[in-house]
Structure 1
Amino acid sequence: MVKNNHFKDNRRQLDRLLRSAPLPADGSRMAELIGYAHTLTRLENTVVVISDMQRGESRIIAGGFGVTLGLTGYDSEDSIWEQRILELMLPEERENKFIAELRFFHFVRHLPKHRKSDYYLECILRFILEDGSNINVMHKMYYVYDDENENVMYAVCQYSPIVSDLKCKSRCVNSLTGETIDLASTDNDGILSGRECRVLSLINDGMKSAEIAERLHISIHTVSRHRQEILSKLKVRNSIEACRLAMVMGLISQ
Structure 2
Amino acid sequence: MLEFLRNWREKRILRHSPYTDTDWQQALSRLPLLDQLNKDELDSLKRLATLFLHDKSLEGAGDLVVTTELKLVIALQACLPILNLGLDWYEGWVSVVIYPAGFTPVHTEIDEVGVVHEVRSPLSGESWERGPVVLSAEDSMGGGIVDGHNLVIHEFAHKLDMQNGVANGMPPLHRGMSAPQWSKAFSAAYADLQNRIAHGKSVSIDHYAATAPAEFFAVLSEVFFEQPRVVQQTYPAVYQQLTEFYRQNPLNV
The answer to whether TM tops 0.5 is no
TM-score class normalised by the smaller sequence: under 0.3
Q: Which has the higher strand share?
A: 1
Instruction: Say which one has the larger Rg.
Output: 1
* TM-score normalised over the length of structure 2: 0.27
Q: What's the TM-score, normalizing by structure 1?
A: 0.26
